[in-house]
């Protein structure tokens, strides 16, 4: 009963909070679907660190990826989830690692904290996340962040389809996803400031600070067996 209550809360929250987001995103999502021929999804992060799908436009292909609006999926092994996790503050990301068991769902799932943190760093650097068969064998995704007018990441825009098709042109699809997410962000009032240079220096500094913050959180945390957290070898909080 508690699980159903939490799930209902997430659905109602999404319906209330994301109605405006969906109306802004829909025409641009449709355009992305037309350009790529793949299914397009919009997701937000739940309080339980899962991705809640709030909108979708399915591709025209006979073989395509589909998921239900209102469905929640793990964040750690999906492209959209990694986009949202990558932009959490260090204390929130620390809580995610304390509360989430990284289970291997396919042979390709990244289920190691150190490797996942490296993947999140890559997302911050590149502005896009990839998932090739980590949650569902044979299915893959490419996602980018959507920002509010204040610059906060509030959602993720994702493209999903068979691995064979997405893996054949990842750079092209990533560019289209990033461009569409940026256009949605712009429609929501987001503007790139002068400090956000194209060389990625600001992103690298933020990523370094975040890694140190998460390391500090985790080095002082309690592991699932009641002992100290055992991850992050070689990391220091100073």
Number of domains in the chain: 1
Domain membership flag for residue 237: no
Domain membership flag for residue 228: no
Domain membership flag for residue 76: yes
Domain membership flag for residue 114: yes
List C-alpha distances in Å: 141 to 57, 77, 221, 227.
14, 10, 32, 36
Contacting residues for 189 by C-beta, under 8 A, at least 6 apart: 148, 149
Domain membership flag for residue 112: yes
Strand 72-74 relative to strand 50-57: parallel, antiparallel, unpaired? antiparallel
Note down the domain range covering 53. 2-219
Domain membership flag for residue 152: yes
CATH number for the domain that contains residue 71: 3.30.450.40
pTM attached to this predicted model: 0.76
Burial of residue 43 (number of CB atoms within 10 Å: 0-12, 13-18, 19+): buried
Cβ–Cβ < 8 Å for 115, 85: no
Q: Please name every residue paired with 228 in a beta bridge, in sequence order, or none if there are none.
A: 222
Domain membership flag for residue 232: no
Domain membership flag for residue 227: no
Q: What is the pLDDT along the chain (238 residues), one digit of tens a residue?
A: 445 556 566 555 555 556 789 999 999 999 999 999 999 999 999 999 999 999 999 999 999 999 999 999 999 999 999 999 999 999 999 999 999 999 999 999 999 999 999 999 999 999 999 999 999 999 999 999 999 999 999 999 999 999 999 999 999 999 999 999 999 999 999 998 654 443 344 444 444 445 544 444 433 333 333 333 332 222 222 2
Cβ–Cβ < 8 Å for 177, 140: no
């Amino acid at each position: 009963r508690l699980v159903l209550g939490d799930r209902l809360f997430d659905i109602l929250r999404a319906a209330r909070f994301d109605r405006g987001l969906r109306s802004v995103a829909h025409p641009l999502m449709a355009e992305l679907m037309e350009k790529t021929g793949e299914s397009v999804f919009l997701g937000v992060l739940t309080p339980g660190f899962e991705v809640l799908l709030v909108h979708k436009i399915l591709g025209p292909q006979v073989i395509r990826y589909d998921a239900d609006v209102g469905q929640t999926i793990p964040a750690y092994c999906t492209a959209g989830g990694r986009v949202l996790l990558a932009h959490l503050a260090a204390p929130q990301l620390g809580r995610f690692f304390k509360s989430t068991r990284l289970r291997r769902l396919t042979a390709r799932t990244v289920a190691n904290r150190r490797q996942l943190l490296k993947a999140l760093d890559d997302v911050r650097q590149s502005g896009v996340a990839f998932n090739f068969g980590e949650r569902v064998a044979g299915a893959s995704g490419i996602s980018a962040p959507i920002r509010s007018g204040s610059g906060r990441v509030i959602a993720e825009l994702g493209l999903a389809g068979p691995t064979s098709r997405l893996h054949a042109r990842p750079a092209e699809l990533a560019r289209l996803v990033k461009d569409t997410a940026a256009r949605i962000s712009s429609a929501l009032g987001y503007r790139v400031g002068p400090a956000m240079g194209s060389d990625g220096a600001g992103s690298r500094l933020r990523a370094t600070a975040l890694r140190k913050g998460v390391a500090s959180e985790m080095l002082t945390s309690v592991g699932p067996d009641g002992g100290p957290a055992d991850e992050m070898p070689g990391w220091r909080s100073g």
